[in-house]
Amino acid sequence: MRWMMSIGPLKDKVFDEARSLLSGQVKILELGAYAGYSSIYLAQTFGSDVQVTSIEVNPDYVRATRANLEHAGLTDRVTVIEGSSTEVIATLDDTFDLVFLDHWKDLYLGDLQLIEQRGLLRQGSVVVADNVGELFNAEPYLHYVRGCGRYTSENRSAPIEYTDMPDAVEISVYQGPT
């Protein structure tokens, strides 16, 4: 069912926007799988050329995500790693074209900085941060991506999934180290 596969129609649009900025084989890093809805959406939207690495700390969510990926026939496109985002990022040495931040909001900034330090971004990598609306106290993260000089960053308003509560998504394009 469509609603099972979606993180919400407006946020889907942000993924479509991110997709328009990328081409060819796309490697995606997702922080926070929850039940795998966004992994599934990304794997379907980007098609067979995509490889999604999704980090999820909650074992129940890891199980749910793996079951949903199995059901959707997408296990070959998505790898779910169980563990804390910060610890797992410290072990990665790939380059990612798209990073989707959707885990604990107070980890966004530190995890993005760690991703940069480890060289996991290339010039043109797209970083999408969900839930950066006023309700979520995302100011430190927004201040960083808008002010550090290494991103061009834009904000898209969208309600929280399946509600009318205001929220926003920040889409930031990495310009390389400065």
Which CB atom, from 53 or from 131, has the smaller least distance to Mg ion? 131
Q: Taking the complex as a whole, how short is the minimal distance between the CB of residue 172 and Mg ion, in angstroms?
A: 16
Q: 102 an active-site residue?
A: yes
β-sheet with 151-159: strand ranges across = 78-82, 50-56, 26-31, 96-101, 121-129, 166-174, 151-159
Q: Is 167 a residue that touches Mg ion (CB under 5 A)?
A: no
Which CB atom, from 102 or from 170, has the smaller least distance to Mg ion? 102
Q: CB of 29 within 8 A of CB of 100? A: yes
Q: Is 97 a residue that touches Mg ion (CB under 5 A)?
A: no
The Cα–Cα gap between 59 and 36 comes to: 13
Q: Is 102 a residue that touches Mg ion (CB under 5 A)?
A: yes
Q: 13 an active-site residue?
A: no
Candidate residues 131, 151, 167, 169; the one interacting with Mg ion per rule CB under 5 A: 131
Which CB atom, from 50 or from 138, has the smaller least distance to Mg ion? 138
Only segment of 12-20, 94-102, 105-113, 170-178 that touches Mg ion (CB under 5 A): 94-102
Q: Taking the complex as a whole, how short is the minimal distance between the CB of residue 102 and Mg ion, in angstroms?
A: 4
> Bridge-partner residues for 56, per DSSP?
82
Give how many residues touch Mg ion by CB under 5 A. Answer: 3
Task: Tell me which residue of 47, 35, 5, 9 sits closest to 163, measured CA to CA.
Answer: 9
Candidate residues 130, 138, 141, 142; the one interacting with Mg ion per rule CB under 5 A: 130
Token digits of residue 90: 């410290």
One-character DSSP codes across 99-163: EEE-S-GGGHHHHHHHHHHTT-EEEEEEEEE---SGGGT-HHHHHHHHHSSSEEEEEEEEESTTS
Q: Is 30 a residue that touches Mg ion (CB under 5 A)?
A: no
Q: 161 an active-site residue?
A: yes
Only segment of 69-77, 82-90, 104-112, 127-135 that touches Mg ion (CB under 5 A): 127-135
The Cα–Cα gap between 19 and 42 comes to: 9
Active site residues: 102, 105, 130-131, 161
Give the binding site for Mg ion (CB under 5 A). 102, 130-131
